[in-house]
Amino acid sequence: MTENLSLAKAINLGLQKAMRDDPRVILMGEDIGTLGGVFRVTEGLKNEFGENRVLDTPLAESGIVGSAIGLAMRGYRPVCEIQFDGFVYPAFDQIVSQLAKQTTRHQGTQAFPVVIRIPYGGHIGAIEHHQESPEAYFVHTSGLRVVSPATPSDGFHMIQQAISSNDPVVFFEPKARYWPKSDVDTGATPGPMHQSRVVRTGSDVTVVGHGAMVAMLLDAAEVAAGEGISLEVIDLRSLSPIDYDPILASVQKTGRLVVAQEAPGQASVGSEVAATVAERAFYSLEAPVIRVSAFDVPFPPANLEGYYLPSVDRILDAVDRSRGF
């Protein structure tokens, strides 16, 4: 069945389906029960499944994730919500020192099916600690799977795939894309969770991004098309592991690559994509790989985020520089 859904509602329905299908799935987080979460992603789930499966926790992110690790060891499949991206750091030690290492430590004899949902990114005019892109910290950490849906369809399917994984999954949800709607086939069989996807074909320059940046890349592609420039847009979807095959195939065709992200550029997902393509497709490149990112400073006050975050103009400038070689 096809429904017109926002990303927030699509994830809500994905959580609902996972909880109906498996009584071991429980939700944990601050204000996720009665309130339904600050973005209303868990709205209505407490009414259906009760307070024993939709747990309103104290304001203690380390405790949320630490408890989830113990619950996973007892056979549950906990899904933790970190209310805002900047709130994840109290849980950082539990995630990278404990959760990420447990599967290896137990040599695969113990599963740790913990999902950590993190709303991330800018474009909503929020205050300090409420707009960040911390994905590189977790991509750097072995033992974690890291994904980010850019569309309602991916939100619906990927949250279920993450919950069904026996490995821990950090699930980054782009806040800027919570409300726009698109069609979701809730009965479709999705492709693999860790598969990149070409969302617009083109011939002149390959542009790659994830999360909220995918919609901006598509906007840039529309503007470029009006100027006679054909951009091929690729949605990473998975940040760890990254599926490079569609990217390499595209670069072999276009000879040029621009990587865009909301996170700062230093030691980032974009840096990794740029380096890997330079290593594996060097002789196909006709120009250096160009990165477009936020600046390497803390996320600024809301009235300056338009200067800090990549824009269509900055993406098109990178495309022009790429084509200038």
Active site residues: 130
Distance CA 45, CA 169 (A): 21
Joined tokens for residue 27 = 């939700």
Cβ-contact 235, 194 below 8 angstroms: no
Three-state DSSP at 231 gives strand
Collect all residues with Cβ–Cβ distance below 8 Å to 256 and sequence separation of at least 6: 204, 205, 206, 285, 286, 287, 322, 323
Distance CA 10, CA 178 (A): 9
Query: What secondary structure does DSSP assign to 174-216, as a single string?
Result: EGGGSS-EEEEETTS----TT--EEEE--SSEEEEE-TTHHHH
- φ/ψ of residue 212, rounded to 5: -65, -20
Distance CA 93, CA 99 (A): 9
Please report, for residues 124, 152, 154, 187, the alpha-carbon distance to residue 212 in angstroms, rounded to integers and kept in the order given.
12, 12, 13, 25
Distance CA 115, CA 109 (A): 19
Bond into 58 cis (ω within 30): no
Cβ-contact 196, 246 below 8 angstroms: yes
